Structure 1
Amino acid sequence: MVTSIGDGNAESFVSDFEDNKVKALIFEERPTMRLRYLITAFHYRDRVAFGFVDMTSPLAHNVTSHYKVQRHTDTMVLLKEDSAEPAATVSTAEIPTQTLHQLIEPNQLLILPRLSSQTLD
């Protein structure tokens, strides 16, 4: 449900829109994702593909610097078709569940219309 992201697979993850899903990257300075982020990923699994970046890993330096993520804060970056610029970003010590929902709700659909339904894979 959540893809582990590093320098080697970040570009392919954020640029693959064949699944008709918005991409969300969660950045944390820990090897496993917090439960509140996992629950949010499960809640939006039909519309948003989540990736987790462990900022303590030396294999995540490039992706962390590319999105200008600060150390010692949790960050979520939402990406639509234009993966160079995030559609939305939030960064705090611990992102509250309500804030996650407020950020994802208006950004859970891609910009360009698709020939297939976004609820179908």
Structure 2
Amino acid sequence: MHKPLLFLLGLALAGNATAGCGEGNGTCYYYKKGELKGQDKCAVTTCAATDQYFFSTWAWGNGNEVAITLSEDKQGTLVNGKPGYMLQLPFKDERMLCYAVEAGDELLCNDSGVY
């Protein structure tokens, strides 16, 4: 269902930019103040075109969703609309990717390998 839409989006943004999307499944984790508060299976979709756009959505099996985007002014990463940043944790799992919310002491991770 989403693949034709992503293909059309890719055609619309074609040009000199390198663009693409990836989809995968894994486990998502939610940490608050360093403590694991939730984990569930999730589907991850990530799309990017060099420095033009980036977004990733994580659809948790329990109905929760996470949205990671570049801010409109390209000054940083937004995690569910809040300023944040990316962390790769290769010491835990080569496929593990985490995003932290700057002011919230929250960490959201997935091991889908879709960056």
TM-score, normalized by the shorter chain, greater than 0.5: no
For normalisation by structure 1, the TM-score amounts to 0.27
Q: Which has the larger radius of gyration?
A: 2
The structure whose residues are more often helix, as a share, is 1
The structure whose residues are more often strand, as a share, is 2
Tell me which of the two structures has the higher relative contact order, counting C-alpha pairs closer than 8 angstroms and 6 or more residues apart. Answer: 1
